[in-house]
């Protein structure tokens, strides 16, 4: 993941989603959820997932922007670690991290918020084949813990529809 400004990263991820087929978008959602599960259940990233901003519990103020930006940078570093690992799970998690990096930046910058909404609107619009997409990405049945993540949605981005 080349070093790009946050706005460029958000724009690039959203452009990829817009140009992807429905099954590709579902696969991207599956790996984003896998990455979330890994981030929540391991200490691979020293900074905790900023759930209180994604669920809307905390308003994004200056401290929140700093937290979200710091977390995005920690995810970028983790992405580079995973890039060097040829394990299937590492590659799948790496494919899911850009959704969270773009989301952190979109949440931290009010000018990017509508793009964050569109990202999650697109990721979550066709979930009827989510479990199958997940199986294809990890080449095994999902665990019960992983299935719990299938219902995860960052509420802050899904509160109002976006005109795409």
Q: Residue 164: what pLDDT?
A: 44
Provide the residue-wise pLDDT of the chain in tens; the chain has 164 residues.
Answer: 557 899 999 999 999 999 999 999 999 999 999 999 999 999 889 989 999 999 999 999 999 999 999 999 999 999 999 988 878 889 999 999 999 999 999 999 999 999 999 999 999 999 999 999 999 999 999 999 999 999 999 999 987 655 44
Go through the chain and tell me how many residues it has.
164
What integer pLDDT is reported at residue 118 of this predicted model? 97
Residue 83's pLDDT is 87
Q: Which two tokens stand for residue 2?
A: 């080349």
Integer Cα distance of 10 and 131 in angstroms? 26
> Rounded CA gap, 66 and 134, in Å?
32
- Which residues, other chains included, contact 88 with Cβ-Cβ below 8 Å and sequence gap of 6+? 138, 139
pLDDT (0 to 100) of residue 161: 52
- Sort 76 into a burial class: Cβ within 10 Å, 0-12 / 13-18 / 19+: middle
Q: What is the pLDDT of residue 92?
A: 93
How many Å separate Cα 150 from the centre of its chain? 13
């Amino acid at each position: 993941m080349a070093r790009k400004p946050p706005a460029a990263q958000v724009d690039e991820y959203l452009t990829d989603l817009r140009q992807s087929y429905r099954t590709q978008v579902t696969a991207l959602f599956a790996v984003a959820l896998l990455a979330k599960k890994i981030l929540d259940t391991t200490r691979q990233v020293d900074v905790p997932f900023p759930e209180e901003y994604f669920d809307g519990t905390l308003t994004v103020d200056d401290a929140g922007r700093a937290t979200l930006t710091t977390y995005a940078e920690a995810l970028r570093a983790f992405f580079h670690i995973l890039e060097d690992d040829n394990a299937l799970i590492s590659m799948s998690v790496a494919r899911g991290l850009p959704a969270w990096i773009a989301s952190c930046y979109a949440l931290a910058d009010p000018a990017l918020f509508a793009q964050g909404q569109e990202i999650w609107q697109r990721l979550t619009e066709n979930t009827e084949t989510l479990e199958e997409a997940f199986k294809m990405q990890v080449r095994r049945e999902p665990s019960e813990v992983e299935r719990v993540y299938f219902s995860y949605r960052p509420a802050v981005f899904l509160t109002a529809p976006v005109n795409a």
